[in-house]
């Protein structure tokens, strides 16, 4: 391939110019810039690039003349003729490298997933202030990710985001709500006071307050602060002992003995494991049998995967309730699994809607192979409130 440059006066507008012509006569006077001693081949491609954003130094006008038997030459070979095509990876090597990359990402995802699962299990078993502080840290991180999504380009095209200081204040308040819930024992006063403080901070800003700022911040307070507090209520406030299980009877006294296993602990473990089962069964069912899209919010979710996930969630809930002997009614076990699945699905779809409007794939990059904290806990946000109210209101004597 022969490449040469011709000097032409630059144009006034600095826009890329792409010209492709086919010259068939060797003695044409309109192409006097080519050497007359050499005949012009039948296939001649003239490529003119002006003021392009390329990695090599900018030139006013570059004319690249390519002679090739290929009627559609590769643009990369025109721009970088010094690259030896023999050194480029073959298709087999590329596919091998891509499969290795996917395998490495999957291994990373599994390793960090197991580490998170073991850590979360220990925190749930500990309960009390350990569970509350860990939840507060997760809430603060999730709130920061939420407000970064609100400030993303996709969101700001249609609304005015809250000021950064207001989002920081709201994130701190969200992190304090679980602590106040654990210390005081109820949520109402804490949430109403927090909403008043957030509204006051927004209304007293220097610029003109916008309703979009107030609405996005209030939803962040509800989504990232109020709803996670129900996990504290579920784990720590339902202190009635679960005495019917063999696991609780043989629990070491060093770790609290039989009294450590409360209705709150059993309900929390059943709910968390049912959510994991719902996500796993829905993912595998969608991969194997998924054909009908569930919603446009998340195109990868299918009705087939959703139905299989519902069955797996209910089956896991019933199995664990038989192991822990709580609740004693089979109908209550099925209802618990159904509510858990509904909460996990709509929590997942809510976060997908936020990310879709923001124009991002993940809410963050905190957890390697998993994304942000919201990507991992989206299925848990609504579920805690549903399960707590179900146990508190629908089950007589807490299901004992």
pLDDT at 140 over 70: yes
Which pLDDT score is estimated for 49?
Answer: 40
Banded model confidence at residue 184, pLDDT cuts 50, 70, 90: confident
Mean pLDDT of 98-112: 76
The string of pLDDT tens digits covering residues 207-244 is 888 898 999 999 999 999 999 999 999 999 998 888 77
Q: Delimit the domains of the chain by residue range.
A: 1-25+36-83, 123-237, 245-400
Relative orientation angle of helices 263-289 and 91-126, to the nearest 10 degrees = 160
* CA–CA–CA angle 196, 198, 201 (5° rounding): 110
Determine the Cα–Cα distance for residues 75 and 400; give it in Å rounded to an integer.
73
Determine the Cα–Cα distance for residues 81 and 79; give it in Å rounded to an integer.
6
More confident residue, 232 or 357: 232
Question: Per residue in 203-236, is it b (16+ CB within 10 Å) or e — as a string?
Answer: eeeeeebeebbbebbbebbebbbbbbbbbbbbbb
Banded model confidence at residue 87, pLDDT cuts 50, 70, 90: low
Mean pLDDT of the chain: 79
| % pLDDT > 90, the chain | 46
Backbone angles phi, psi at 102, to 5 degrees: -65, -40
| 252 Cβ contact partners less than 8 Å away, ≥ 6 residues apart | none
Are 383 and 343 within 8 A, CB to CB?
A: yes
The string of pLDDT tens digits covering residues 68-82 is 444 444 444 444 444
- H/E segment holding residue 55: none
* CA–CA–CA angle 365, 370, 373 (5° rounding): 65
């Amino acid at each position: 391939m022969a490449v040469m440059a011709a000097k032409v006066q630059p144009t006034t507008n600095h826009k890329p110019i792409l010209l492709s012509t086919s010259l068939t006569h060797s003695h044409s006077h309109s192409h006097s810039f080519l050497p007359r001693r050499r005949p012009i081949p039948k296939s001649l491609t003239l490529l003119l690039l002006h003021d392009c954003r390329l990695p090599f130094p900018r030139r006013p006008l570059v004319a690249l003349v390519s002679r090739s038997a290929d009627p559609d030459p590769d643009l990369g070979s025109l721009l970088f003729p010094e690259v030896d095509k023999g050194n480029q990876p073959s298709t087999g090597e590329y596919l091998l490298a891509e499969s290795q990359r996917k395998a490495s990402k999957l291994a990373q995802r599994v390793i960090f997933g197991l580490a998170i699962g073991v850590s979360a299990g220990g925190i749930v078993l500990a309960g009390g202030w350990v569970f509350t502080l860990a939840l507060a840290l997760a809430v603060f991180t999730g709130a920061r990710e939420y407000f970064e999504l609100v400030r993303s380009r996709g969101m700001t095209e249609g609304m005015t985001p809250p000021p950064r200081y207001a989002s920081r204040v709201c994130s701190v308040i969200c992190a304090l709500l679980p602590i106040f819930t654990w210390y005081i024992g109820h949520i109402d006063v804490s949430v109403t006071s927090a909403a008043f403080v957030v509204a006051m901070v927004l209304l007293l800003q220097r610029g003109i307050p916008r309703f979009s700022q107030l609405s996005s911040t209030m939803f962040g307070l509800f989504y990232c602060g109020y709803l996670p507090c129900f996990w504290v209520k579920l784990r720590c406030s339902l202190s009635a002992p679960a005495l019917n299980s063999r696991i609780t009877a043989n629990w070491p006294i060093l770790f609290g003995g039989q009294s450590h296993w409360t209705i709150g602990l059993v309900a929390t473990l059943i709910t968390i494991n049912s959510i994991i089962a719902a996500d796993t069964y829905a993912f595998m069912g969608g991969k194997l049998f998924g054909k009908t899209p569930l919603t446009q919010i998340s195109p990868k979710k299918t009705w087939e995967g959703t139905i299989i996930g519902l069955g797996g969630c209910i089956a896991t809930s019933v199995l664990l309730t038989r192991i822990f002997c709580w609740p004693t009614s089979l109908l209550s076990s099925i209802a618990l699994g159904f509510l858990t699945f509904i909460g996990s699905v709509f929590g997942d779809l809510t976060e997908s809607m936020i990310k879709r409007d923001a124009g991002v794939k993940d809410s963050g990059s905190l957890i390697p192979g998993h994304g942000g904290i919201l990507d991992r806990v989206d299925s848990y946000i609504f579920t805690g409130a549903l399960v707590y109210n179900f146990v508190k209101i629908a089950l007589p004597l807490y299901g004992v």
